[in-house]
Structure 1
Amino acid sequence: MFSATAAPPENPAVIPTVSISSNETSLTGTCHCGRIEFQLPHKPEYINECLCTACYKYGALWGYFPRKDVEISVKEGATHERYFREDSDGHMSFARCSYCGVATNWQGEGEEHGKPERKMGVNMRLFERGEWEGVERRVVTK
């Protein structure tokens, strides 16, 4: 996935640096306990700070990606729990780590909203702040 190059060191005491091409910007992040891991193909186009009652309480910042492009790994000792908010009429589910409780993502559900090419919201707070530095941040005040 990465194209990396390193020149042989002229001085054996110096560790060579690896340069990664700037278009290869995959990100890896975890919930607080590290048992749920997300792998994203690149930085999001923008980060959404939704101020609806749910997202505000979760403290989440959402980046959007096609579901098929997001890899989720669950380590032993936790499950990736999905739950439906009553006010979504079953069209939206949120997910969290069963061990530490961190909200990890949301996605649309059902025939219309549940397709793999549809986007999902990934909580960008799972990733180190520096990994998404420079990405536009939008605030939605619904």
Structure 2
Amino acid sequence: MATPSDSIAPVKATCHCGAVTIQTPSRPREINECQCTICRRWAAAWAYYDPKEIRISVTDSSPTKKYVWGDRDLEFHFCSVCGCVTHWKSIQESRKMGINTRMMDPDEVKTVSRRISYGTLSTPLRSKETAHSEDKAQY
């Protein structure tokens, strides 16, 4: 069982091949299993941090690739070698980014509460033209 001091210890997240390493300042307070059209396909489980608190390291020959869709607000990053989705960050300045906790050791996050966020299913994008064909929002 995790103790209160465990929650402030840094946590490392790595892709499968080890080319991308992310260091967080602490265990996540909560994990969100977003159900938007992309996150559910990736089976991502996000923890949110201030980007200034995160250190991302990639091997010189393996920068992350990114995917941008919809309102073009977020960049989803994945390892260019093994393909694991590692994190997302805002294209504009933001105090929030998502780290895919599936890249963390399961023992580090097994006691962290999880929520499944269905709100994104009905949240419209700014333009229906940029929505995924399976977007269920009302425009």
Query: Do both share a fold (TM > 0.5)?
Result: yes
TM-score, normalised to structure 2's length?
A: 0.77
RMSD: 1.4
Q: Match of 1:124?
A: 101
Q: Match of 2:116?
A: 139
Q: Match of 1:105?
A: 87
Q: Match of 1:77?
A: 61
Query: For 1:37, what is the secondary structure of its paired residue?
Result: strand
Separation in 1 of the partners of 2:82 and 2:6? Answer: 33
| 2:48 counterpart of 1:67 | no
**May I ask how many residue pairs the two structures share in their alignment?**
115
- 1:46-104 Cα offsets, whole Å, 9 max, x none, are 0000111100111110000000001000013311122211x1x2211110111111111
Q: Where in structure 1 are there 5+ consecutive unaligned residues? A: 1-20
Q: How much has 1:133 moved relative to structure 2? A: 1.8
Q: Match of 1:45?
A: 29
Determine what percentage of the aligned residue pairs are the same residue.
37
Higher-Rg structure is: 1
Could you say which structure has the higher strand fraction? 1
Separation in 2 of the partners of 1:45 and 1:37? Answer: 20
The answer (yes or no) to whether the contact 1:77–1:99 under 8 Å persists in 2 is no
Query: Moved runs in structure 1, 4+ residues, more than 6 A?
Result: none
The answer (yes or no) to whether the contact 1:93–1:109 under 8 Å persists in 2 is yes
